[in-house]
Amino acid sequence: MHKQRIDGFNIQGSKVSESEPIECYYCGSDNIVGIEIIGASIEEPIIWECKHCNEHMLRFSRAKTERLLQGAPEIDITQEEWEEAWIKGPN
C-alpha cells in the first residue's frame, strides 16, 4: 500500500471542523491558522494548524483531504529543509 499524502501532516485525530476551531484539540491554545496547499483543488485552507503545539487538525474528512492533496504537485523536500525555509522566509 502506498503512503497517502495526508500522512505527511501526522494528523492524530479524526475530528473534523469545517470552520476554524476555537481552540486546539490537543493543547487548548486559541492560536489556530489555516494551511492552504498550492495547487490543491480549493484556494482556501485544507487543514488547521495550532501555532502553539504545531499539531494539525482536519478541516474535512481524511478521504476528502487526501483527494484535495492529490491535486497539488509533489515537492521533494526534507523536514529539515522545510524548517530552514520557514525560518529564513522567502528568497
- Mean pLDDT in each 10-residue stretch from start to end of the chain (91 residues)? 76 92 96 89 91 95 90 69 76 61
Could you tell me the residue ranges of all domains in the chain?
5-88
Which amino acid type is present at position 13? G
Whole-prediction pTM value? 0.76
- The average confidence (pLDDT) of the chain is 86
Q: What is the pLDDT of residues 66-91, one digit of tens each?
A: 888 887 777 666 667 778 877 887 66
pLDDT the model gives residue 17? 95
Residue where the block lists cell 495526508: 6
- Between CA 34 and CA 2 the distance in angstroms is 27
pLDDT the model gives residue 10? 86
Using CA atoms, how far residue 26 sits from 1, 31, 40, in Å, is 29, 12, 26
